[in-house]
Structure 1
Amino acid sequence: MTGEVGRESDAAIGPLVYIVDDDEDFREEMVFGLSRLGVNVRGFHDAAALYRAYAATPSDIVILDIGLEGEDGLSIASHLRSSQSVGIIMATARGSIDDRVGGLSTGADAYLVKPIDVRELAATVVALNDRLDRSRASAPPPVPQWALVEGGWVLTDGLGHRLRLTTSEQRFLDRLFLERGQTVERRALVEALGADVYDFNYAHLDTIASRLRRRAQKCDMLLPLHAIRGQGFAFTE
């Protein structure tokens, strides 16, 4: 068997764990043993198989051998650590101090040297998951990074939410973004819309802002767009 090994028992709870090792016997032994201990675990033989599974369903913890065929475990750890919040455990036969330091420096949270008892591996998974849970619980909520992209026609909060703008919304926001955090007078916003400041219903600015907030809310975006009484509008962070 050279592909994925998976065991999902009804008793399996807690974190989702992926183990990557091209030693089929060791991989199957760890998958079987961890699943018997209640860990939700799936096994893979190389980086490509891991990445395919991870793209579909990211795991909480990844257990890596270093000496894999193709992309090695250190490279995988570096890749995962650079873009993902995931626990990483090295489980390898390479036990020198240099190897340990290299693995931990690359991003591993724990480093185990073969032969490994499955009970030790399970305990490491549980301890690491507990530490990650505490870290996630104490981490501040992500801060939106507002930007106009695609030529200014799409508003994004940097958290995965996007809103395609109408012409009036685009011109309205573009002007506000030029002085982000500052109050932009209503007259300047009317000029940005390409309208005549002497022949414009200024209440229409409130309509644009209100509609923009509602449409953004439907996209799970809370706009920091504020009307400043008697002055204009401001877009704050």
Structure 2
Amino acid sequence: MTKQRIVAIIGGTGLQEFTGDGVASGTVGGRVTPYGETSSEIVRSQLSDLSCVFLARHGNPHTIAPHKVNYRANIWALKQLGVSDIIAVNAVGGINPAMPAASLVLPDQLIDYSHSREQSFFDGESNPLQHIDFTHPFSASLRSQLLAAAKAVNLPVHDAGVYGVTQGPRLETAAEIKRMAQDGCDVVGMTAMPEAALAREFAINYASLCLVVNPAAGCSEQLITMDDIHKVIAQGMGQVRGLLSQALPVIISDPLN
């Protein structure tokens, strides 16, 4: 017997709400977990006769810094709702010149430069110590479905890339970005870890849909301004919403064995 997938969207900067082609239909579950409170209420959204759940990573309104997000509470709460797949939306800086501002990227690898975050459910304290295979941090099948949806609506998306995860909330120095470029990073953001690893520990398919909102430090002669970033977010998140609305019915309808 097959079960229907339950898909969660974790919205990042610029995506504090998601209603698909319908309307939000109320909160599901509670915010309190064994690991503290989730970043926001988890909201069910309708897409025609299908539904998904949505969680605002930085809260709604946007108030929680990247290094202060309670990643364990967020992923634990989604697991308790039976979530099988997570699409994480991330605003990032572009390091690779082929990925300028307003580009959409589906990374296939990451390098973690963050620190001092609660990284695991299996830490030998709250749960017995376990090790997970994290060779490929993002779900290949979920990435493929998102890429197919992008092609269906003629939306250009980079189908690979290395996401460098920094601590934040400050942006990086030019020297740090130079080092990250030498390491092979294509984009830089602050929230893919430990989120991706925690999802893997709970066997939840996880993919990151990145919107490049600015050239990373030193990659442009111009200084990075928040006004420029907000302009790209305002335009780009419309494309993100359109892509998600196209992809979700296909993903949700894919049988879960």
| TM-score by shorter chain over 0.5 | no
Structure scoring higher RCO (CA < 8 A, sep ≥ 6) equals 2
TM-score bracket for this pair, using the shorter chain length: 0.3 to 0.5
Between Structure 1 and Structure 2, the one with more helix by share is 1
Greater Cα radius of gyration, structure 1 or 2: 1
Give the TM-score normalised by the residue count of structure 1: 0.33
